[in-house]
A and B are shown apart, each in its own frame.
Chain A
Amino acid sequence: NAGVMQNPRHLVRRRGQEARLRCSPMKGHSHVYWYRQLPEEGLKFMVYLQKENIIDESGMPKERFSAEFPKEGPSILRIQQVVRGDSAAYFCASLPSQGTEAFFGQGTRLTVV
């Protein structure tokens, strides 16, 4: 059973470009979290999704950031018009509908130059 898969592992974007981060949850998991870790900081909650639904996006910046988890395919975190402050590690985690522990992917390290 493959774990949570995130790609790409590393992503470099110039200021103003779009960044698209993908997360395939563990098989059978229908819930996905996205977290961001800035240097020297803990993990900050961004958004919690079920298939085709955003359940809690209270941690998402109001502009430029969006997330989706379609019926088919991976969850996508999209950052438009990236700025240097978006440089961070972005982690995705999944859990089953009745689960209690979230399992994390290896993260995508976004660098904005």
Chain B
Amino acid sequence: DQQVKQNSPSLSVQEGRISILNCDYTNSMFDYFLWYKKYPAEGPTFLISISSIKDKNEDGRFTVFLNKSAKHLSLHIVPSQPGDSAVYFCAASARGAGSYQLTFGKGTKLSVIP
């Protein structure tokens, strides 16, 4: 049972345009969400996070939106740059329930075309 789903395995975007990566979750106990970026042969790198008490968090070119009623979050990258090409993982945890386990989606491979 996949509790965190990233339904798009891949996404291609033109340089300078907006990249939107989506993530859906099923566990209503999840209250903290994170996005990680991963290059080949490297470990995931933390990108941005959001608590369930917020619906938006912004950090430079990266913005994460959370829609709790739809159990959906998205990562917006604008403007997209070729260096953003990587696999992006959505992760969630249920900290309020005392769990620090991070549950990951399968990832979306983003390709930014120059």
Residues of A within 8 A of B (CB): 4, 6, 31, 33, 35, 41-45, 48, 55-56, 58-59, 91, 93, 95, 100-107
Q: Shortest beta-carbon distance, A102 to chain B, in Å?
A: 6
Further pairs besides A33-B101, A93-B44: 6, Cβ < 8 Å: A33-B102, A43-B91, A43-B104, A95-B100, A101-B46, A104-B46
Asked if A45 and B101 sit within 8 Å, CB to CB, the answer is yes
Asked if B101 and A42 sit within 8 Å, CB to CB, the answer is no
Residues in B neighbouring A102, C-beta threshold 8 A: 34, 46, 102
Number of interface residues of B (CB under 8 A): 23
Q: Which of B34, B43, B103, B106 contacts A107 (CB 8 A)?
A: B43
Residues 93-114 of chain B: 1 if any A CB is under 8 Å from the residue's CB, otherwise 0? 0010001111111110000000
A93-B43 Cα distance, complex, nearest whole Å: 9
Residues in B neighbouring A33, C-beta threshold 8 A: 101-102
Closest to A102 in B: B102
A105-B46 Cα distance, complex, nearest whole Å: 11
Asked if A106 and B49 sit within 8 Å, CB to CB, the answer is no
Query: Could you give 15 example pairs across A and B, Cβ below 8 Å?
Result: A6-B43, A33-B101, A41-B106, A42-B105, A43-B44, A43-B91, A44-B104, A45-B101, A45-B102, A56-B100, A59-B101, A95-B100, A100-B95, A106-B42, A107-B42
What are the 10 A-B residue pairs with the smallest beta carbon separation, nearest first? Answer: A104-B43, A42-B106, A43-B104, A106-B43, A42-B104, A104-B44, A101-B46, A105-B43, A107-B43, A45-B101
